[in-house]
Homo-oligomer: A and B are copies of this chain.
Amino acid sequence: MDKNHEMWNKLGMDVEKHDMLCEVLPGAFGDVFLSQENRPKGMDYWNMVVGDIHGIRPAELIEHQKNGGKVVGTFCIHVPDEVPIAAGAIVTGLCSGSQFWVPGGEKKLPTATCPLIKASLGARFDRTCPFFRIADLFVGETTCDGKKKAWEILAEDAPMFIMDIPQMKRDEDFEKWEAEIKRYIKRIEELTGNKVTEEGLRKAIHIVNNKRKALKRLNEFRKNDLVPISGKDVLIITQVAFYDDPERTTQMINKLCDELEERVKNKVSVYKPGAKRILLTGTPLSIPNWKMHHIIESLGAAVVCEEMCTGIRYSYKLVEEDDGADMDTMVHNLAQRYLGSINCACFTPNHARIDDIVRLAKEYKADGVIDLNLKFCNLYDTEGYFVEKELNKLGIPVMGIETDYTDEDAEQLKTRIGAFIEMLD
């Protein structure tokens, strides 16, 4: 038995079933990523990471646990990574982006639940994802009806901690979110046995901000007329950033950015001249959900920005850094950043997201906007009314797409998106 299988066995995984995933993933990755022409050399790191996605990082997490460390799994970018990091724990994203896990979730959840939530429960209950076996604590949140109730079921099998996210963004809601972060700190201190100190939290804020800065730097290249990196590649980098070691991922992104700077100087683009520029907005694209990017870019267009949790929302605002800040101030700064600058459709009202889309469409010179909705996400689906209304008013072409993790609608999507891109001419 190879080392990975040994590890998966020890984790109590359904190895036979998991092998089915291992069989198809490399092919899918090859088709979507490796087939691209003229990729930056720096992408080799991510090829390696994704090539052994359930091997390398899980082994690191287990090593950390062997040394007494804890691993905290999260599902949402509202949950501050800084807290576990400050307590010496490792944070890993747990959102699931493959149809492979959906049927397992449907055994517990209504079919009319978004595929991301169904896949997340399926990954745990089917025992087919090492990250879902390794995590010592699963941190859920009350961002949407589907997640809020799914965590109750997940809690039957996994140790859960739920953060109650406000539904509005008034002053009292920021105070409430500060209190939730303080609850989170307590829970993480209990879990790890380590105190979250001012120094630890300050350092953690710095580490995560550095990752944000690197991702921001990466995204800036996409504003160029000649784009030196594909949307697909930025997507996989962002997806990996959710569970990779933050300092290593920062270093690798910055190294890649150095290469991209050279490319810009040399006027290198990965797209053909005149490629139409698409801003994607909407629900998150969890790894390995590459469907939309693959369809759009295979049609010759460029995804230049994702106004998504797996995109700009993840990185574009930093936590305020202040070397003299005490604990309360740092928690305040975390609350400001994690509540204030993420404009998820779970908030009411949420005009700020519409403003973001309009601003980003201009900044990234988008020719058109695709408003993507994961099936049965009522929040983004309903907010789509305002997205379309505002963009129509401004004369920015927009198309709403609803899809899930299956490939059944791929041909239909190609036709519809193809027609949309042609219309942009």
Interface string of A163-174 (1 = CB under 8 A from B): 010111000110
Query: Would you give the shortest CB distance from A402 to chain B, in whole angstroms?
Result: 8
Q: Are B142 and A112 in contact, with the CB atoms below 8 A?
A: no
Interface centre among A145, A162, A172, A348, by most B CB within 10 Å? A145
Interface string of A120-158 (1 = CB under 8 A from B): 000000000000000000000010111011111100000
Q: Are A379 and B149 in contact, with the CB atoms below 8 A?
A: yes
Given contacts A112-B112, A167-B164, A348-B162, A378 and B153 within 8 Å (CB-CB): no
Which residues of B have CB within 8 Å of A142?
167-168, 348
Query: Would you give the shortest CB distance from A297 to chain B, in whole angstroms?
Result: 28
| Stretch from A86-94, A309-317, A380-388 forming part of the interface with B | A380-388
Query: Would you give the shortest CB distance from A205 to chain B, in whole angstroms?
Result: 26
* Cross-chain contact of A145 among B109, B144, B350 (Cβ < 8 A): B144
A144 to B382, alpha carbons, bound, how many Å?
13
* Cross-chain contact of A376 among B150, B346, B378 (Cβ < 8 A): B378
Given contacts A176-B176, A348-B162, A385-B108, A378 and B146 within 8 Å (CB-CB): yes
Q: Are A110 and B146 in contact, with the CB atoms below 8 A?
A: no
A145 to B377, alpha carbons, bound, how many Å?
9
Which residues of B have CB within 8 Å of A172?
176, 179
Residues of chain A at interface, number, CB under 8 A: 39
Q: A345: CB under 8 A from chain B?
A: yes
User: Which residues from 356 to 387 on chain A have a C-beta closer than 8 Å to any C-beta of chain B?
Assistant: 375-376, 378-379, 381-386
Q: Which residue of B lies closest to A381 (CB)?
A: B110
A254 to B142, alpha carbons, bound, how many Å?
42
Q: A30: CB under 8 A from chain B?
A: no
Which residues of B have CB within 8 Å of A148?
167, 348, 379
Q: Are B145 and A383 in contact, with the CB atoms below 8 A?
A: no
Q: Are A112 and B381 in contact, with the CB atoms below 8 A?
A: yes
Interface centre among A148, A153, A164, A379, by most B CB within 10 Å? A148
Q: Which residue of B lies closest to A114 (CB)?
A: B378
A168 to B142, alpha carbons, bound, how many Å?
9
Number of copies: 2
Q: A239: CB under 8 A from chain B?
A: no
Q: A210: CB under 8 A from chain B?
A: no
Q: A349: CB under 8 A from chain B?
A: yes
Q: A113: CB under 8 A from chain B?
A: yes
A148 to B143, alpha carbons, bound, how many Å?
12
A101 to B151, alpha carbons, bound, how many Å?
34
User: Which residues from 269 to 286 on chain A have a C-beta closer than 8 Å to any C-beta of chain B?
Assistant: none
Q: Are B153 and A346 in contact, with the CB atoms below 8 A?
A: no
A108 to B385, alpha carbons, bound, how many Å?
7
Q: Are B378 and A149 in contact, with the CB atoms below 8 A?
A: yes
Q: Are B152 and A376 in contact, with the CB atoms below 8 A?
A: no
A150 to B162, alpha carbons, bound, how many Å?
26
Q: Are B179 and A382 in contact, with the CB atoms below 8 A?
A: no
A151 to B149, alpha carbons, bound, how many Å?
22
Which residues of B have CB within 8 Å of A346?
145
Q: Are A382 and B167 in contact, with the CB atoms below 8 A?
A: no
Given contacts A145-B144, A145-B145, A162-B348, A150 and B382 within 8 Å (CB-CB): yes
A375 to B166, alpha carbons, bound, how many Å?
26
A-B contact pairs, 5 of them (CB 8 A): A108-B385, A112-B375, A142-B348, A145-B378, A172-B176
- For the complex of A and B, list the 5 residue pairs with the smallest distance between their C-beta atoms, beginning with the closest: A149-B382, A110-B381, A142-B167, A145-B378, A145-B145
